[in-house]
Structure 1
């Protein structure tokens, strides 16, 4: 009696070289996942920056021009948002082989990967730096100037910018005692700029993974036997 034939193993488990079509398929799958992930983070960054324009969900501060310069810069909208979202769309098209990437060669795909990586990296870095500076400077709010120059007056500005001997990020006693308006301005500022900082850092990590994935796809394409 003849022994039963061994069932065929999946493609990715066959002992082939890195130039096998299976590795190329895995690289394209990785591009699809990276494109979706980058697109999600871009939408989140845009949403976080939009919320910063409406402290306590109040639009009057925006109409009166009482929004901090870092939020008004909108780096989460056009940097970590639009630029990264555009790169994510290119990466997804490469992964799904749609549009102009349906029959693109390895060199063209690598060029598109470099352009999309550079675009996403630039947008994420702009958002990361802006968020870091915003957290260091502190929120834009109305505060009592008398605590600084002994005169009874209130004005809008950055009260934590000149506090060199105390860091408001660690001294939570300052959060509800310095800023008088908007309500809970420090919590609002710290929460959403921290979210932008973490989101842009995740975007940078995803861009690095995408670059190495694109390089692996190019290597496998060039080494593939005809």
Structure 2
């Protein structure tokens, strides 16, 4: 009876660990626009990317949880012969870590997509010449959504090149990864309680 929950824990741990690696990779790419490290060295990276939620949230926290979940799935692992209370505690701890990391990554990615990329754009004021500055040009567009109006992508952000495509691509990736992680956490909780039920039945 316990074979299925243990196997499921191994698969869940491996899946969460793989998703954590992809999240860390996507966040790393956001720190190096167009693979040019000079923007990072000059401090010209947006606050959402600098927060690093894909590195420590969807990455480190989820990877730690994945290791605990995998340990629970080992047939002769350190949790395989533990009591029901310890198994439930380990399941809640690992699931809570993964849930927290995935939620932080999901929320940050959603806000980042809403605010738009950090880039150099033209800023013209009344009776003044147009000046170029770094900021969030799409943040205050109340009547237009840059995600649906691609004509704004290349005409607004001048530097880095393809800033909007880079921003949307990798933050959308982080959003999808964190959604997958949340789904896997829900499955983990269900699997853990099934495993507890099976162990109680065996006893």
Q: TM-score, normalised by structure 2?
A: 0.96
Relative to structure 1, the CA distance from residue 98 to residue 79 in structure 2 (aligned partners, 3 Å threshold; closer, same or farther) is farther
> Structure 1 residue 54: deviation in Å?
0.3
Partner of 1:45: 23
* 2:116 aligns with one of 138, 148, 156: 138
Q: Select the residue among 32, 49, 55 that pairs with 2:33.
A: 55
* Equivalent of residue 66 in structure 1, options 25, 44, 47: 44
Q: Name 1:93's counterpart in structure 2.
A: 71
- Alpha-carbon distance in structure 2 between the residues aligned to 1:218 and 1:102: 11
Shift of 1:98: 5.2
- Distance in 1 (alpha carbons) for counterparts of 2:75 and 2:60: 22
Structure 2 Cα separation of the partners of residues 93 and 30 of structure 1? 12
TM-score by length of 1: 0.87
User: How do 1:71-150 residues align onto structure 2 when only pairs under 5 Å count?
Assistant: 71-97=49-75, 99-146=77-124
* 2:138 matches 1:160: yes
- For residues 6-37 of structure 1, the C-alpha deviation after alignment (integer angstroms, 9 at most, x for no partner) is xxxxxxxxxxxxxxxxx311110000000000
* Residues 127-158 of structure 1 deviation map (CA, whole Å, 9 limit, x = unaligned): 00000000000000000112x65631000000
* Larger-Rg structure: 1
The structural deviation recorded for 1:68 is 0.1
**CA separation in 2, counterparts of 1:55 and 1:111?**
42
Name stretches of at least 5 consecutive residues in structure 2 with no aligned partner: none
The number of residues matched between the two structures is 202
User: What is residue 194 of structure 2 aligned with on the other side?
Assistant: 216
Partner of 1:203: 181
Shift of 1:100: 2.9
Q: Does 1:172 align with 2:150?
A: yes
Question: What secondary structure sits across from 1:181 in the alignment?
Answer: coil
User: CA separation in 2, counterparts of 1:75 and 1:205?
Assistant: 18
Classify 1:207/1:130 alpha carbon distance in 2 versus 1 (closer, same or farther; 3 Å): same
- Measured in 2, the distance between the counterparts of 1:134 and 1:151 equals 30
How many angstroms does 1:212 deviate by? Answer: 0.3
Provide, for residues 150-207 of structure 1, a one-character-per-residue CA deviation record: whole Å limited to 9, x for no partner.
6310000000001110000000000100000000000000000000000000000000
What 5-or-longer segments of structure 1 have no aligned partner?
A: 1-22
Equivalence for 2:159: 181
